[in-house]
Chain A
Amino acid sequence: MKKIALTKLDELFAAIAASKSLYLPVDTEKGAKYTAWTEGAKLSEATNTVRSAKDFFFPQVEDMASFKVEGKKIEVIDTRKEAEDFVVFGVRACDAKSFEILDSVYLVDPVDSYYASRREHGVVMTLACSRPTETCFCKAFGIDAAEPAGDISCWKTEDSLLLKANTEKGQALLDSLSMLEDAEDTAADAVKAATREIVEKLPLSNLSTDAFGGDKLSALFDSDKWESLSESCLACGTCTFVCPTCQCYDIRDYDTGHGVKRFRCWDSCMYSDFTLCAHGNTRTTQMQRFRQRFMHKLVYYPANNNGVFGCVGCGRCMRSCPISMNIVKVMKTLEG
């Protein structure tokens, strides 16, 4: 394990940013946001960022190709940009786990080369939580807020930042940072214990997942509770867009006036044209679309991924849903 004094954090960030783009959570007027580090940028103390860290690997909009049309001639232009090397610092345990979930979708055959390239070029430096909040329920999904994954895990003690490499990529980055000092492997034990103690007291830490999983399909799908759960859903895409594990996308064409720009963008199961096919739509009501979102996370995903749930308990949907409907209310209602 390595360490550096908190007073020297800027020195550390400057050293990382010297060779790679460095992003970290910075406070804005309305919550923390991943921002490119520049001299003077201050690491946010917020529990988590408003938007998730999935944006780094699976951005909302990504250009795929352009078509230039001149008369009957169509020119296809490859607009792909090589991903640059980057480091994202301050990722929480929940978001770090979300990368594993995205990997299980995008890095299996056929590999999504756009996503894979970003994963290869990115180094994830996680930071253990010190002030988890009431909307956090990562523990319910077996995530330890005190032991975040990533290429490098970090912990903040009263006066230092502790760093531990988990991967070769992480080790290489730590080796390149000469200002780091050696630390005992047990140096983070006290802060880990403190975090876990708080997590135990969180109101949602003991949220039960017993009623969910790949083998519970029929009973849950046919539940008569979906109607009332979804009755006030606005069909906006907020929950899906702030969610670190929502992974659906659509490919759209944009008429530029003199050609076509083809891009992919986040899709949302809440939208009326989600999975619209030539024959029509398989889900014609908002109840069905609403159900899809939760069935995906709590039943379909675990059915295909050895029981792992497709939610990491970050709580972003709880904070941003315009009508305060969310996965916790859904789980408690379905189970109750």
Chain B
Amino acid sequence: MQEVMKKRASELLADGTVVRVLGWKNGEFAYDPTPAVFQTVESLEAFVYNDFCASNLSKYLIKFLRQEGKTLVFLKPCDSYSFNQLLTEHRVIRENVYIIGVPCDGKVAEDKLREKGAEGILGIETEGDQIKVKTLYGDLDLNKKECLGERCLSCKSHQVVVFDEMLGENGEENPDCGRFDMVEKLEAMTPEQRFEFWRGELSKCIRCNACRNICPACSCEKCVFDNPASGISQKAAADSFEENMFHIIRAFHVAGRCTDCGECSRVCPQHILLHLLNRKFIKEMNECYGEYQAGAEAGSRAPLVNFTMDDCEPSIIYTKEAGK
């Protein structure tokens, strides 16, 4: 796939269709590619696409909104949902972007390799579902499915939903992904247990803002948490209340707009299960207003910014509580 992508990128750069290519650049090791912009055919030498190209490139396109020329971007299925959502919110201009869809069967997480004992990694080779890891302390044969990132284990869709051309075969939605299983487990807990669970998670937060900064739905020019005039701008949680509120407020702000791309949890250096907050919102909205997938279609109206005569009344909260 990498070579096909490189070839198409070279062609589109050479014939002037695009002026820049947004992709991934190879790293120091086999597992650490970095999102990168390529402006010449020669620079594409460093272009890479492998099992570790997990970064969602959609959000970077906001940067090119006001720049001249068309940008070629490679979008995986989950990234394409984010792109549609950004389109809906007028954060990107469709005509300025040339999208090549690339299929994805899940990305491998470096920390999963470490959990399976891979330290001193010298090389990684993938053959189908087999991952051969060469390390200083011996070689490991691992199963790719067991090394996928958390979000890929409950992938909602293998389908690229927006593209100008598709490389390889497009996948399908995956309604039986079980992505709400953990939310249901949390719902089944007593309020005390649930509070304890979330305190355990959120107390790990170091306020590095990685979740916010990678989130394609967090596209404000100035975040309320960075704005000294907001009264809540902070660099660290002053107390446990703030620790909780940062993430809860963020979840509220992206409610109805979060496509469940899972980048927040992927990048969290403290491994907080942030995507569960977003999934809870998605599940609630699905139950109250009917199934809705943010980013499935550009221009769709999210339940929270729409009104229909069939909308549930606010009292649904009590009805639902009573039903439990």
Interface residues of A, Cβ cutoff 8 Å to B: 29-31, 47, 50-51, 60-61, 131-134, 198, 201-204, 228, 231-232, 234-238, 240-242, 250, 252, 254-255, 261, 263, 265-268, 271-273, 318-320, 322-326, 328-329, 332
Q: A238-B269, A242-B269, A254-B234 known; A228 and B119 CB under 8 Å?
A: no
Chain B residues, Cβ within 8 Å of A324: 27, 32-34
B206 within 8 A of A: yes
A235 in contact with B213 (CB, 8 Å): yes
Residues from chain B with Cβ under 8 Å of A203 in the complex: 28-29, 122
Encode B11-27 as 1/0 by CB contact (under 8 A) with A.
00000000000000001
Shortest beta-carbon distance, B201 to chain A, in Å?
11
Are B60 and A232 in contact (CB-based, < 8 A)?
yes
Query: Taking the nearest CB of chain B, how far is it from the CB of A215, in angstroms?
Result: 27
Which B residue sits closest to A267, measured CB to CB?
A: B235
Q: Are B235 and A234 in contact (CB under 8 A)?
A: no
Residue B252 CB within 8 A of the other chain: no
Interface of A is mostly: loop
- In whole Å, how far is B207's beta carbon from the nearest beta carbon of chain A? 7
Among B27, B119, B135, B238, contact of A329 (Cβ-Cβ < 8 Å) = B27
CB of B111 within 8 Å of the partner chain? yes
A-B pairs with beta carbons under 8 Å apart, 25 shown: A31-B114, A47-B119, A50-B269, A50-B270, A51-B206, A60-B236, A203-B28, A237-B207, A237-B210, A252-B234, A254-B239, A263-B236, A267-B235, A273-B228, A322-B213, A322-B214, A322-B263, A323-B34, A323-B35, A323-B55, A326-B28, A328-B28, A329-B27, A329-B28, A329-B34
Contacts of B214 in A (CB 8 A): 234, 236, 322
Contact of B238 with A252 in the complex, beta carbons under 8 Å:
yes
**Nearest-Cβ distance from residue A26 to partner chain B, whole angstroms:** 15
Of the candidates B33, B111, B242, the one having the most CB atoms from chain A within 10 angstroms of its own CB is B111
Contact indicator A266/B235 (Cβ below 8 Å): yes
**Known contacts A134-B29, A134-B120, A273-B228; A228 and B36 CB within 8 A of each other:** yes
The answer to whether A318 and B120 touch across the interface, beta carbons within 8 angstroms, is no
* Residue ID in chain A nearest B52 by CB atoms: A324
**Contact status A231-B236, CB under 8 Å:** no
Provided the pairs A228-B37, A322-B267, A325-B34 are in contact, do residues A236 and B210 lie with their beta carbons within 8 angstroms?
yes
Question: Contacts of A267 on B, CB cut-off 8 Å?
Answer: 235
- Complex Cα distance, B135 from A156, in Å, reads 22
- The interface residues of chain A lying within 8 Å CB-to-CB of B111 are 30-31
When each residue 107-137 of chain B gets 1 if its CB lies under 8 Å from chain A and 0 otherwise, what string results?
Answer: 0001100100001111000000000000111
The CA of A47 and the CA of B119, in the complex, are separated in Å by 9
Closest Cβ of chain A: how far from B210's Cβ, in Å?
Answer: 4
Enumerate chain A residues within 8 angstroms of B35, measured Cβ to Cβ.
232, 323
Task: Say if the beta carbon of B208 comes within 8 Å of chain A.
Answer: yes
Known interface pairs A237-B209, A238-B210. Does A134 touch B234 (Cβ–Cβ under 8 Å)?
Answer: no
- CB of B231 closer than 8 Å to a CB of A: yes
Among candidates B110, B231, B270, residue contacting A319 with C-beta atoms closer than 8 Å: B110
CB-CB nearest 4 A-B residue pairs? A265-B236, A322-B267, A324-B32, A254-B238
Q: Is B237 an interface residue (CB 8 A)?
A: yes
Distance in angstroms between the alpha carbons of A328 and B208 in the assembled complex: 21
B226 touches A (CB below 8 Å): yes
Would you list which residues of chain B between 134 and 174 have a CB under 8 Å from chain A?
A: 135-137
Whether B234 contacts A131 by the Cβ 8 Å rule is: no
Number of interface residues of B (CB under 8 A): 45
**A318-B32 in contact (CB<8A):** yes
Q: Complex: how many Å from CA A172 to CA B130?
A: 54
**Which residues of B are interface residues toward A (Cβ below 8 A)?**
27-29, 32-37, 55, 60, 110-111, 114, 119-122, 135-137, 206-210, 212-214, 226, 228, 231, 234-239, 242, 263, 266-267, 269-271
Task: Give the docked Cα–Cα distance between A204 and B29 (Å).
Answer: 10
Whole-angstrom CA separation of A51 from B236 in the bound complex? 16
Across the interface, do B206 and A60 meet the contact criterion of CB distance under 8 Å? yes
B231 close to A232 (CB less than 8 A): no
* Chain B residue, CB-CB nearest to A264: B236
Cβ distance A259 to chain B, nearest Cβ, rounded Å = 12
Q: Which residue of B lies closest to A207 (CB)?
A: B28
Which residues of the other chain, B, contact A29 by a CB distance below 8 angstroms? 271
Q: How far is the CA of A250 from the CA of B267 in the complex (A)?
A: 24
C-alpha spacing A268/B55, complex, angstroms: 23
| Minimal Cβ-Cβ distance residue in B for A227 | B37
Contact B231 A236 (CB under 8 A): no
Are B208's CB and A237's CB within 8 A?
A: yes
Q: Which residues of A contact B239 (CB under 8 A)?
A: 254, 261
Given contacts A201-B136, A232-B60, contact A61 B238 (CB under 8 A): yes
Q: Would you give the shortest CB distance from A275 to chain B, in whole angstroms?
A: 13
Q: Residue of A at shortest CB range from B57?
A: A232
Task: Tell me the complex Cα distance, A237–B242, Å.
Answer: 18
Complex contact A202–B55 (CB within 8 A): no
Most interface-central of A263, A322, A326 (chain B CB within 10 A): A322
Query: Which chain A residues lie closer than 8 Å to B267 at the CB level?
Result: 236, 238, 322
CB pair B36–A232 under 8 Å, yes or no, is yes
**Minimum C-beta distance from B218 to chain A (A):** 11
Q: Which of A255, A263, A271 contacts B231 (CB 8 A)?
A: A255
Closest-CB distance, A256 to chain B (whole angstroms): 8
Q: Please give the distance in Å from B295's CB to the nearest CB on chain A.
A: 20
Residues of B with C-beta under 8 A to A273: 226, 228
Task: Provide the bound-state CA to CA distance between A250 and B238, in Å.
Answer: 13
Bound-complex Cα distance A326 to B228 (A): 30
- Residues of A contacting B137 in the complex (Cβ-Cβ under 8 angstroms): 131
